[in-house]
Homo-oligomer: A and B are copies of this chain.
Amino acid sequence: MTDTEAGDSGAGDSRPVVYDLAPDCTLEDASVGEQYHAVVNGVVEYGVFVDISDHVSGLVHESNLDRSYDVGDRLIVELVEVKDNGDIAFGVVDSDDYRTEVVDHEIALTPVETLGTGDTATIEGRVVQIKQTGGPTIFHVADETGIVACAAFEEAGVRAYPDVELDDLVRVAGDAEEHEGALQIEVDDLTLLTDETAEEAEERLDAALAERAEPATPEPLVEWDAFAKLHDDLQEVARLLRRTVLEGRPLRVRHHADGDGMCASVPVQMALENFIAEVHEDPDAPRHLFKRLPSKAPFYEMEDVTRDLNFALGGQARHGQKLPFLLMVDNGSTEEDVPAYQNLAHYDIPIAVVDHHHPDPDAVNDLLDAHVNPYLYDEDYRITTGMMCVELARMIDPEITDDLRHVPAVAGLSDRSKAEAMHDYVALAEAEGYDRADLEDIGEALDYAAHWLRYDDGKSMVNDVLNVGCDDEARHEELVEFLSTRAQRDVDRQLDAVEPHVEHEMLASGAHLYRIDVDEFAHRFTYPAPGKTTGQLHDRKVQETGEPVITIGYGPDFAVLRSDGVRLDIPNMVTELNDEIPGGGVSGGGHLVVGSIKFVKGRRGDVIDALVEKMADADLDEELSSTATLDD
């Protein structure tokens, strides 16, 4: 087809156009009825053969000739006919009043998503991964429609096209073939785009990527004003995540290993794996590019970030992958996460956080690419991360909504959210056949499974428990029944063990103080761990007394704090303790009603005593409750 865009310059010029085809033009660049500059390349009895490009030649029959020509003579011809057998007939045009337009060869680019086995194709896109194998070099190229591997062979183990780097724009010609089950282009030619070609392609690709990265905008599962404030932030994270997938970058999700954390991360995993599968021609891409990792600590530990970074650098070195995008889920909002983030700051590793723990935006925001947290909008923990991430997952892939309707209710009950919207969430789940007890059991079962899975994501098992992507309803039910029963039994057993050893005193403020040495009196290295043990004990005491309660569960070098009806301001207490007890090594955090602190073993007595003194002075505030909160 003729490149008529080039005719812009002739707007208003009524003279006929004679096209000057570039040497690499093919018949596809020409059209019947148009006029072309031609050169004679042969003279025969019945006419002359002419070229209008290296690839397009034809006959001017002698009946159309009014004079004789020699090889090399130039003339203007009209393309009269392309015969069935491919022969081309030209006529001579006698004209000296025309304007010439240069025509470049228009390459027919094949969109990656339409590639089929056996196709010979040319694609244009951005290089998103360069993996040097023992044999060919594999360039992963992203166009507007998908990402495909392109294998270029120079010599075994030798980098092909060494000038081409990550993020370069390239044109790749070759045959699409199946390789180990995935479509792959065997590269005939790979050209680095430069100058205007590059600019044009960049513009086109960026526009397409921006459009494709655009998240869906499903109606939220429940109407809720508090939640609506977070909508735009979640859209932005969805956009970032979709863009990350489109750019071929790996994703790593770190999440709190409890019920809410799993209700949050599992839907996001499902949505992202689906989207990765859609974008990549390689069906194994979701497995290679996505990883979900439970974190044991309530913050991003140095050991975890060291491991993550080392893994990422290994992926870069061995597979030529980009460094990953890090998504922190139900975790990551606090000052305690800063050292880990700083460790990543030297690398191209974008970070987004979706969390509902009390955040330190001043400390973390500079280190993050996105930060969603209800406290940033004067809301609080009652909007659980699971609630947010179910919506986030639906923005990434709205198709999975039906799998997720019960999940926010599980998340909310698991974190004992007192949000008014809980009623609606539970109703939504009830419509799917879950009653409130089922949902609570799922939360308990998730928590119990997470405890024993430790650092393993336990994908299949967790999906069965949460009933997301689980294909056997009966198995889901039996598994939840078993795990939750067992979790409850273990909690009861633990409380039975500690109860006789709980020390009780009434504080001057009128609050009850309960203390328990969980290292001495609780079963160790089992479920529930010290934090949850303390939380469960506290909840029981709140229920029993109906009055303000503070509970301290302590071990040799740590203490877990919970309060209902008393304003503790734990970060402030930590600062004071550090001043008052030299060599106490007190650290830790939390907020008004929940926290945990560490100290050196040898000063435990002093630390606990000082702590109790401070608690005795703390103000009552019956609004405050840790039973409706997190992180046992």
Name A's B-contacting residues (CB within 8 A): 117, 133-136, 156-157, 178, 180-183, 281-284, 302-303, 306-307, 309-310, 313-314, 316-317, 339, 342-343, 345-347, 449, 452-454, 456, 458-461, 464, 475, 478-479, 482-483, 486, 493, 496-501, 517, 519-524, 527, 557, 582-585, 598, 600-603
Contact = CB atoms under 8 A, between A and B. Distances in A.
B134 A181 contact: yes
Contact of A460 (B317, B521, B584): B317
A602 B449 contact: no
Count copies of this chain in the complex: 3
A486 B317 contact: no
A135 B497 CA distance: 56
In the A-B complex, the 6 residue pairs with the smallest Cβ-Cβ separation, listed nearest first, are A135-B181, A134-B181, A157-B283, A313-B460, A500-B583, A520-B602
A183 B153 CA distance: 13
Contact of A600 (B178, B456, B523): B523
Query: Most chain-B CB neighbours within 10 Å: which of A284, A346, A519, A601?
Result: A346
A109 to B, nearest CB: 21
A343 B482 contact: yes
Contacts of A521: 583, 585, 600-603
Given A497-B600, A523-B600, 17 more contacts: A133-B181, A134-B181, A135-B181, A156-B182, A157-B181, A157-B283, A313-B459, A313-B461, A343-B482, A343-B486, A346-B482, A496-B583, A497-B583, A499-B583, A500-B583, A501-B583, A501-B602
A306 B583 contact: no
Contacts of A449: 306
B345 A482 contact: yes
A307 B455 CA distance: 11
Query: Most chain-B CB neighbours within 10 Å: which of A135, A183, A449?
Result: A135
Contact of A461 (B182, B310, B498, B600): B310
A584 B135 contact: no
A478 B342 CA distance: 10
A343 B603 CA distance: 43
A526 to B, nearest CB: 8
Given A600-B522, A601-B520, A313 B181 contact: no
Nearest to A585: B497
Given A343-B482, A602-B521, A282 B460 contact: no
B497 A584 contact: yes
Contacts of A181: 133-136, 156-157
Contacts of A478: 345-346
Nearest to A307: B456
Contact of A453 (B310, B459, B464, B598): B310
Given A183-B156, A583-B498, A314 B135 contact: no
